[in-house]
Amino acid sequence: MGQSYAIFGAGPGGLYTAWRLLAGGMLQPGDTLKLYEWGTYDFDGTGDNRQPAGRICSHHYLDEDSATYIEIGGMRFIEWSGEQYEPGTNDQKPAKGHRLVTKTIHEVGLYPDVVDFLTTDDPLYYLRGEHFYEQDLKSNGGSVTAPYNTPGNNEAPPNDLFTHISDLITGTNVLNFRSQQCRFYADGTLPGTFNSFVYNPGDTASNVGYWNVFYDQAGGEGFSYAADGGGYNSNVINWNAANAAVYNGEFAPGGAFKTIAGGYSRLFVELYRKALEAAGTDVSFELHQGTRLHSIWMEGDAIKFRLADRSDPYKPTGDTALEADVAFLAMPPNAVDIVAQATRFDPTPGRTDFLNEAGVANYLGSVIEQPSYKVAMFFETCWWENSKYPPKLEAQIDTPDGKKTTTKSVFGPTITDLPLRQVYYFGDNALPGDQGKPVYGLLASYDDMRNVGFWRGLELSVEERRETAIPRDLQPLEGGRKASEQMERMLLLQLAKLHYGDPNAANEIPAPLSTVFMDWGLNPFGAGYHAWGAHYDIADVMQQVRAPARLAGVEGAKVYLIGSAFSNDQAWVEGAFCTAESVLVDCLGMSPLIDTSVYPLICGGSG
């Protein structure tokens, strides 16, 4: 009898794992692979269900897969050139980019459809009631000072302040390579030049909270400028300062991001299709949607679990536990915690409840959940281009011959301290051949953490009473939900302030054709992304938590936890792919998909 494999979660990590196991030759004739997913993703292009997968969700106008779309989940990746090092650096800087995502896109045949998703190098800001463009700040030769009482800092873009704080934390450490970054996460210290009343030179950087040290160094007004002008509340929370110092450089204006024409979700549709093709007739590969992992434990060296149906997701189906030889928990921490809660009260004697073992629970708690919220609007015109304060949707990019050219493949953002927070301009991105009239997409609000509750309070209309408890509202599994009239009006009110400087101009903005929202703070995801907490050796956590049953003392147990939350690349698909690949390589003996000699998949190993 062949080996049995179970993957719980058909998000990026789960689909990648299924594809790699099948296409990489790990599974042999007679083996079985079952992929379980709580949601019901549209892998067949019918438009009946939400687009895959996990926290990626390309929402198309009228659910037509060739029509204009807006990403209401993860949006983009950083393309890798395929080289190990940046040219002209004498092998001192690794080539930038998400290597596994780029390689996978090539492998499944989608690279011809890769398109730019650039960010403007001159974003519009609306902060504390004042409009200005980044290039108008004094440090860029303009005359504008941002409306924050933080002398010097307020003459420069917020990203400069992030960079300054990072430099203060890292000192003279060279952190070009992931291996160098991992060592700093593990035992890096504040430099000898660090000047503080609160902290001392030599203090362990990973035991310092980022909010704490930012306030210590920049004061309340400096912190507020970075928090408001950076666009992401999640980037300035009290997370691991060692990790934050490295991570916060990825979102600078002018970032050269990429996506896939027709929507990022296409990558995950293709991964599923390629997995099916690779399975052929020799290996049994089954997708079970509308089914979630209810509970899981070890009995000796056997992996036991129970499932639950989406119609009653908190009650296990059947009286007999199921078994697998190898199991992958391809799910975010919140979903793992839901499983742990059910497992804790399972009466089966003689079992090892590894998810609730103290050391495992501590490491599962090493990441901070960061709720996020997105609201997408579709219009008949791109009215923002003719507003009083239009976004500057152009950027200078390098050409292959070393020159610069201006491109219009720019999506924004505009940044504000209004609850909108960030606005991205998708425009008319329908695929060639789409028969509909032009429709223009606007990601009207890209919000996280602080203002999620503001928009959640507008999800229901003033005529409605809540009929489903918030913990039981599984909206992220369903896809974009139609906004209430009040939410739509609130969006128009704030967009009028943002682009016209006048709330009364809300009546001048054309009525949207459609408005939908996605609340990633709801179950089962519990967050749009995650950040490492302070007071953890995150290099050790990455190594240990991916095999939670072994961490709980069950030697040789083949239960693995994968996903972006416990990675070097939190909030990116790359993180999910890297944790999955690290398990396949280190624990199951597969050959790596890429050369990991200068690109460790996770800290502490895998290259």
Using DSSP's 3-state secondary structure scheme, residue 201 falls into: coil
Q: ∠ CA 409-231-55 to the nearest 5 degrees?
A: 75
Predicted confidence at residue 256, as pLDDT, reads: 72
Predicted confidence at residue 406, as pLDDT, reads: 67
Distance CA 341, CA 348 (A): 15
Residues 474-488 pLDDT 10s? 999 999 999 999 999
Residues 154-189 pLDDT 10s? 999 999 999 999 999 999 999 999 999 999 999 999
Residue tagged 């519009």 (tokens): 124
pLDDT confidence of 529, banded at 50, 70, 90?
A: very high
Residues 283-328 pLDDT 10s? 999 999 999 999 999 999 999 999 999 999 999 998 899 999 999 9
* Mean pLDDT, residues 381-407: 81
Predicted confidence at residue 395, as pLDDT, reads: 75
Residues 402-433 pLDDT 10s? 666 666 679 999 999 999 999 999 999 999 98
- Going by the DSSP 8-state scheme, the letter that residue 482 receives in this structure is E
Residue 65 has pLDDT above 90, yes or no: no
Predicted confidence at residue 363, as pLDDT, reads: 98
Predicted confidence at residue 345, as pLDDT, reads: 86
Predicted confidence at residue 269, as pLDDT, reads: 97
Residue 399 has pLDDT above 90, yes or no: no
In 277-371 the beta strands, taken as DSSP E runs, fall at 284-289, 291-299, 302-309, 322-324, 326-330, 367-370
Predicted confidence at residue 606, as pLDDT, reads: 41
* Mean pLDDT, residues 463-476: 95
Higher-confidence residue of 242 and 348: namely 242
pLDDT confidence of 604, banded at 50, 70, 90?
A: confident
Copy the structure tokens of residue 366: 């090493």
Long-range Cβ contacts of 361-366 (<8 Å, 24+ apart): 363/536, 363/541, 363/544, 363/545, 363/548, 363/551, 364/333, 364/336, 364/337, 364/340, 364/545, 364/548, 365/533, 366/532, 366/533, 366/536, 366/538, 366/541, 366/545, 366/566
Using DSSP's 3-state secondary structure scheme, residue 112 falls into: helix
Copy the structure tokens of residue 406: 């201006």
* Mean pLDDT, residues 207-235: 96
Return mean pLDDT, the chain: 94
Distance CA 587, CA 607 (A): 13
* Mean pLDDT, residues 15-27: 96
Neighbours of 374 (CB within 10 A): 27
Distance CA 115, CA 431 (A): 12
Closest by CA to 33, choosing from 379, 288, 237, 340, is 288
Peptide bond into 371 cis (omega under 30): no
Q: Starting from the edge strand earliest in sequence, which strands make up the sheet with 77-78, in order? A: 77-78, 256-260, 114-118
Distance CA 121, CA 127 (A): 18
Write the single-letter amino acid at 265: S
Residue tagged 């040789």 (tokens): 556
Predicted confidence at residue 404, as pLDDT, reads: 66
Predicted confidence at residue 593, as pLDDT, reads: 97
Distance CA 161, CA 426 (A): 29
pLDDT confidence of 605, banded at 50, 70, 90?
A: low
Percent of the chain with pLDDT strictly greater than 70 = 96
Predicted confidence at residue 433, as pLDDT, reads: 81
- Going by the DSSP 8-state scheme, the letter that residue 7 receives in this structure is E
Distance CA 544, CA 536 (A): 12
Residues 101-157 pLDDT 10s? 999 999 999 999 999 999 999 999 999 999 999 999 999 999 999 999 999 999 999
Residues 246-290 pLDDT 10s? 988 655 444 579 999 999 999 999 999 999 999 988 899 999 999
CB 411 within 8 A of CB 391: no
Using DSSP's 3-state secondary structure scheme, residue 453 falls into: helix
**What are the Cα distances from residue 61, in Å, to 69, 163, 200, 399?**
6, 39, 54, 34
Predicted confidence at residue 107, as pLDDT, reads: 98
Higher-confidence residue of 442 and 401: namely 442
Predicted confidence at residue 527, as pLDDT, reads: 97
